[in-house]
Amino acid sequence: MGQELWNAVDAYVDGLLVAPDPALEDAARANVGFELPDIAVSPAQGKFLHLLARARGARTILEIGTFGGYSAIWLARALPEGGELVTVEYEESFARAAGEHLARAGVADRVRQLTGRALDVLPGLVGDPAAPFDLVFVDANKPDIPEYFDWALELTRPGSLIVVDNVVQGGAVADPDHPDRGVRGVRRFLERLADEPRVEATTLQTVGAKGHDGFTLALVTG
């Protein structure tokens, strides 16, 4: 009953609170063209990120992991006039698809797409006019999350938010002996976070159309 019930609740809530939007719906289907599972955030999660960015008054946002541009559209739409989203993607074909979706959504003018391996691209953002970023959304490969968090800290300032997706991994994160590299990456990140005096953080489990997973939210304090 779990997944069926979670889908029903997401469908009910999305029907009330997330307005239909053909450009977003196109981006959400990017996985179909690439014969991949549905790896974008859900509509409710996309709107949650959008509201976080607006509540923070974010003028510049960094996203690690663009895929088809679904979360990028939500984040870009939270920006004020003159704001910028910088989004990093490793796969050129995904970046191209995202570019089309961002254009269709009417936000291409405020999004800078960087293509390459994030750990190669991120050092180039030190001193970039968009840095320090007001919000960083980490949603790429899981084994490297601890290093992405270190870069997020480097590229933000006190008051910035860092959001990391998929930190519960269907509950596997609670298993200290889990063999999966992604799960181990998440555990390494959470343990690193516990010792990091420059942030206040929490992790929320979520259920919904994307199964059982969760977000970490960290506020940069120092």
Which residue, 86 or 88, has its beta carbon nearer to ligand SAM? 88
CA end-to-end span of the chain: 44
User: Residue 65 or 208: which CB sits closer to ligand SAM?
Assistant: 65
| 211-220 and 199-208 strand pairing | antiparallel
For residue 117, the minimal CB distance to ligand SAM (Å) is 4
Give the footprint of ligand SAM on this chain (CB under 6 A): 39-41, 65, 67, 70-71, 88-91, 94, 117-118, 139-141
CB of 88 to ligand SAM, least distance (A): 5
Smallest gap from Cβ 205 to ligand SAM, in A, equals 18
Residue 54 C-beta: closest distance to ligand SAM, Å: 18
Nearer to ligand SAM, 88 or 136 (CB): 88
Which residue is associated with the tokens 């970490």? 216
Nearer to ligand SAM, 102 or 118 (CB): 118
Task: Give the helix ranges, DSSP H, for 77-180.
Answer: 92-104, 118-121, 145-154
Whole-angstrom Cα distance, residue 25 to residue 205? 25
- For residue 22, say if its preceding peptide bond is cis, omega within 30 degrees of 0: no
C-alpha 80, offset from chain centre = 19
